[in-house]
Each structure stands twice: as structure tokens, then as C-alpha cells.
Amino acid sequence: QVQLVESGGGLVQVGDSLRISCATSGRSMRNYGMAWFRQAPGKARESVAAITTGGSIYYADAVKGRFTISRDDRKDTLYLRMNSLKPEDTAVYHCAATTAYYADIYDYSRLEAYRFWGQGTQVTVSS
């Protein structure tokens, strides 16, 4: 099975940019659909973005146009580039992996689609 380790989080100012990473190990990441989720204090975990093995991409409306998900299967690493950060982006960001296939890209936004999860990296946006 695959192991996931996030990195790159930190404290930034409103409007700043940040790139977080998710390093995978155990099995080649090319076998997995990948996603980023986030969880703010007192709130449910929510989908941010997802990318399939074929490169199809989903973004949540809250981040569309500001965030970019990408994957480098040669490096077994998933990325999330976050621009124009807002205080409401403050959360713990988790990466997730799935071997399941869904015809509808929207299905890759569901928490229950993912079996493997990382521990998360904290992103704090200060105003």
C-alpha cells in the first residue's frame, strides 16, 4: 500500500502564495488517483482538488482560479500551488490516494473515495 507525507505548510500573509507537497512511497503514485482535502478548526474535512491517473482535474469552487494541483509520477509527488491566499484558506491540508476509478471526475471529490491519507500540513493565512 502507499504511504503519504505532506510538507511545505506554514504561516503566510493574505495574498501570498505557497506550494505544499505530498511525497508518496510504498507503491508508484502512477497507480493512484490523488487529491487534496482540508480541515479547518471545528469544521468538516472538505475537498480542495483532485487529479486522476490520466490527468483529469477537479477543483472546489472556493479555490478555482487560485489553486493548481499537479502530479509528478517520476518523483512520486503530488503538489498544490496556492495563490492569492485568504484567511478562510487556513486549515490542515491532507493528501489522499485511491485506486478506485470513477467515470465522473466529481466522484474524486468525495472523502469516501479515498482509502489512504496523510497526516496533514498546517497552512495559516494571517490578515
Query: Distance (Å, rounded) from C-alpha 124 to C-alpha 103?
Result: 34
DSSP 8-state symbol, 113:
G
What pLDDT shows up at residue 110? 97
Query: Distance (Å, rounded) from C-alpha 87 to C-alpha 75?
Result: 31
Reported as a single tens digit per residue, the pLDDT across 46-74 is 999 999 999 999 999 999 999 999 999 99
Reported as a single tens digit per residue, the pLDDT across 78-100 is 999 999 999 999 999 999 999 99
Using 50, 70 and 90 to split pLDDT, how confident is the model at 39? very high
**Per-chain mean pLDDT for the chain:** 97
What pLDDT shows up at residue 95? 98
